[in-house]
């Protein structure tokens, strides 16, 4: 094994530091005794902010709303994204490429454009802002992520597998459940997780499509303006890091295993 050259190692360490030192500051100031500003070094350490977070109903409401929005937007995206991928991966028809582009467009558009467009559309159709307008807003980009993952995997799936299944007596539904789904399952898992993560921390589209509710990112943004109890946001951020790290780790191991199974067919 050859050792990396010194400049390369310095660059790698520098890159890691750039990525992770801000996270360390988040962690550090979750424990500070100073509540108005972030002075370095912190004047003292305390665990009291965890207690404060535990007792504040507005935080739990925001967390609950974000989880609910992300879950429903992800489920919606999984269903619609998979169906769209199924329709566009194989068949050739007039206008296939433009339609495919239109599906991917929402993620390329700046969130602010999507946000304004949705706000005006909801306004024109006289749909009051609610939980569901947030979900619809998030679904626009969640579908793209699922669609992209599913379409890539479907294109790698040999079309004769589906024909073989039909040939052996399976109808379309059985074929989807027994052949297609197991072969694209890990792609859907990865797409679904990414969709969930995107929805969970989305700010811009949410700003335009939410009514009085605040999702967690919106709550955090508004909290930064308040002068007191600043470390509360840090505590929430630390909790989110912990909570998101576990499923990402799980998905990593799950998909790795899945890849091995899917790859063994090649």
Q: How far is the CB of 175 from other proteins (least distance, A)?
A: 9
Q: Does 164 bind other proteins (CB under 8 A)?
A: yes
- Residue 153 vs 230, nearer CB to other proteins: 153
Q: Which of 145, 140, 134 is CA-nearest to residue 69?
A: 134
- Residue 58 vs 163, nearer CB to other proteins: 163
- Residue 126 vs 171, nearer CB to other proteins: 171
User: Which helix (H) or strand (E) is 17 found in, with range?
Assistant: helix 6-29
**One residue of 7, 44, 110, 169 binding other proteins per CB under 8 A:** 169
**One residue of 36, 167, 224, 246 binding other proteins per CB under 8 A:** 167
- Residue 125 vs 260, nearer CB to other proteins: 260
Measure the CA–CA gap between 177 and 172, rounded to whole angstroms.
9
Measure the CA–CA gap between 109 and 142, rounded to whole angstroms.
13
Count of positions on this chain that bind other proteins (CB under 8 A): 22
Q: Within 223-262, which residues bind other proteins (CB under 8 A)?
A: 261-262
Measure the CA–CA gap between 239 and 58, rounded to whole angstroms.
16
**One residue of 61, 104, 161, 239 binding other proteins per CB under 8 A:** 161
Q: Contact region for other proteins (CB under 8 A) — 61-69, 113-121, 172-180, 190-198?
A: 172-180
Q: Does 168 bind other proteins (CB under 8 A)?
A: yes
- Residue 184 vs 240, nearer CB to other proteins: 184
Q: Which of 205, 207, 234, 232 is CA-nearest to residue 218?
A: 207
Q: Does 158 bind other proteins (CB under 8 A)?
A: yes
Concatenating the DSSP letter of every residue in 80-149 gives: HHHHHHHHHHS---TTHHHHHHHHHHHHHS-HHHHHHHHHHHHHHTTPPPSHHHHHHHHHHHHHHHHHHH
Q: How far is the CB of 148 from other proteins (least distance, A)?
A: 22
Q: Does 183 bind other proteins (CB under 8 A)?
A: yes
Q: Does 186 bind other proteins (CB under 8 A)?
A: no
Count CB-CB contacts under 10 A for residue 264: 7
The helix/strand/coil state of 56 is coil
Concatenating the DSSP letter of every residue in 197-254 gives: HHHHT--HHHHHH--S---HHHHHHHHHHSSS-THHHHHHHHHHHHHHHHHHHHHHHH
Q: Does 266 bind other proteins (CB under 8 A)?
A: yes
Query: What residue ranges bind other proteins (CB under 8 A)?
Result: 158, 160-161, 163-171, 174, 178-179, 182-183, 261-262, 264-266
């Amino acid at each position: 094994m050859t050792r990396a050259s010194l400049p390369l190692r310095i660059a790698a360490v520098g890159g890691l530091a750039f990525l992770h030192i801000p996270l360390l500051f988040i962690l550090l100031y979750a424990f500070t005794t100073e509540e108005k500003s972030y002075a370095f070094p912190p004047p003292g350490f305390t665990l009291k902010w965890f207690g404060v977070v535990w007792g504040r109903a507005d935080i739990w409401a925001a967390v609950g709303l974000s989880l609910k929005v992300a879950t429903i937007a992800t489920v919606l995206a999984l269903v619609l994204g998979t169906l769209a991928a199924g329709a566009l991966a194989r068949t050739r028809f007039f206008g296939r490429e433009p339609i495919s582009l239109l599906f991917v467009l929402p993620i390329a558009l700046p969130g602010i454009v999507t946000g304004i467009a949705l706000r005006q559309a909801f306004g024109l159709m006289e749909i009051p802002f609610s939980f569901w307008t947030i979900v619809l807003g998030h679904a626009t980009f969640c579908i793209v992520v699922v669609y992209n993952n599913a379409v890539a995997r479907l294109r790698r799936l040999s079309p004769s597998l589906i024909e073989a299944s039909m040939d052996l007596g399976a109808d379309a539904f059985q074929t989807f459940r027994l052949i297609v789904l197991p072969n694209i399952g890990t792609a859907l898992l990865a797409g679904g997780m990414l969709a969930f993560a995107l929805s969970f921390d989305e700010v811009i589209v949410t700003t335009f499509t939410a009514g009085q509710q605040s999702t967690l990112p919106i709550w955090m943004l508004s909290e930064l303006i308040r002068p007191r109890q600043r470390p509360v946001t840090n505590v929430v951020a630390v909790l989110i890091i912990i909570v998101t790290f576990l499923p990402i780790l799980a998905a990593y191991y799950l998909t790795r295993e899945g890849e091995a199974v899917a790859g063994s067919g090649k």
